[in-house]
Amino acid sequence: MSSKDVVREGVDEIVRNLGEISFEDQTVLITGGAGFLGSWICDVLVRQNASVICLDNFASGLESNVAHLMNHENFTFVRHDVSQPIYFDDERIDVVMHLASRASPLEFNKFPIQIIKANTLGTWIALGIAKKHNARLLFTSTSEVYGNPEIVPTPETYNGNVNPVGIRGCYDEAKRAGEAMCMAYMRQHGLDVRIARIFNTYGPRMRADGVYGRVVPRFITQALNNEPITVFGDGKQTRSFCYVTDQVEGLLRLAWFDDLRGEVINIGNPNEITVLELAEIIRRIANSNSEIKFYPPMPDDPKRRCPDITKAKTLLRWRPKVGLEDGLRNTVEWFRDVFSNFTGYSK
């Protein structure tokens, strides 16, 4: 199957699973819409006959993720840094989905200020747009707001154990501030806000560059190239990986239901595995000869990461459906096809 087919089938599946949940005839502003998750959301919404305004500055997103939508009548692309003011005076906007933020650990070292700005100033600007249009706003927060959690599986009521001055602080604390800003706009201005705490999500359209980048694309790239698979620490740290189609369905459910104002909901897959197990599964699926190499642990790397998804199951009528092996097979297939035509990232 080609990489395009993998994505097309995934979009079909999301639309099918959403059933009556449709954004038809609504106008949805998606900040970070050229990124991994944002571009899948754009695809699903265009398929549902929504009007999509995709705002992105290509900080970590790729033009190729949305190139196929550029000439679609229901799709508008705005190249803009979300932390700078922008107004949409001439459009009607029904829903704002604020995803714009670099999210890879490599980028916490390189671009900490931009990450803080996208999640604080950028959230403030996204909230201002929602307020002006009386639109609903969904903020994509992260499991990182829990830091190194003392309760696992972690429920939304856990307040976190974050190091504000560590390398990850720029991301974790900026997301926490973004959440607080959403709640402030709800309390002071009556805005309809929703907060998704996203747990590790993987799938086609993740970027593969960066040695310290996200673990799934890094392992897949290394395995496909028969290079050593780099595990930081002893590999016994756990993560729970959600396939992109499940994640996008969960996010759209959270944006859609009417009675979820002010709700904070974990969206992820509670199937917890060690990073070493992940490396072994990917090596097998990719038919790779890679050895597994261990490096010193990354600072403040959480020991366990697993969501309690009781709330999502109840309020969103959602649960993850794609098993890890199936999701990884699709992802490996996608990367294999993309790499066979790969000429390098444009920057």
Ligand X SMILES: NC(=O)c1ccc[n+]([C@@H]2O[C@H](COP(=O)([O-])OP(=O)(O)OC[C@H]3O[C@@H](n4cnc5c(N)ncnc54)[C@H](O)[C@@H]3O)[C@@H](O)[C@H]2O)c1
Q: What is the contact surface with ligand X in residues (CB under 6 A)? A: 31-32, 34-38, 56-61, 81-83, 99-103, 118, 122, 140, 142, 198, 200-201
223, 288 Cβ separation under 8 angstroms: yes
Classified as helix, coil or strand, 14 is helix
Q: What is the largest CA-CA distance in the chain?
A: 58
Task: Note whether 232 and 167 are within 8 A (CB).
Answer: no
Nearest distance from residue 226's CB to ligand X, in Å? 26
> Residue 249 — φ and ψ, nearest 5°?
-60, -45
CB of 59 to ligand X, least distance (A): 4
CA–CA gap between residue 22 and residue 252 (Å, rounded): 9
**Shortest approach of ligand X to residue 275 CB, angstroms?**
15
Beta-strand ranges (E) seen in 112-213 are 136-142, 193-198, 201-202
If phi > 0 it is left, if psi is from -120 to 50 it is alpha, else beta; for residue 57 that is alpha
Helix residue ranges, H only, 232-323:
244-256, 275-285, 310-315
**Residue 175 Cβ, how far from ligand X at the closest point, in Å?**
7
Nearer to ligand X, 118 or 290 (CB): 118
Plot region of 190 (φ>0 → left; ψ -120 to 50 → alpha; else → beta):
left
Q: Which is nearer to ligand X, 37 or 186 (CB)?
A: 37
Closer residue to ligand X (CB): 115 or 290? 115
List active site positions: 171
Pairing of strands 27-31, 95-98: parallel
What is the nearest approach in angstroms of ligand X to the Cβ of residue 219?
A: 14
- The Cα-based distances of 303 to 153, 237, 298 in angstroms read 12, 5, 11
Q: What's the number of CA atoms in the CB half-sphere (13 Å) around residue 112?
A: 11
Residues sharing a CB contact under 8 Å with residue 259, sequence separation 6 or more, in sequence order: none
- For ligand X, give the closer residue by CB, 135 or 216: 216
Q: What is the three-class DSSP state of 98?
A: strand
Residue type, 38: G
- Closest approach of Cβ 81 to ligand X, in Å? 4
Cβ(254)–Cβ(196) below 8 Å: yes
Distance CA 227, CA 178 (A): 39
Nearer to ligand X, 36 or 318 (CB): 36
Q: How far is the CB of 149 from ligand X (least distance, A)?
A: 14
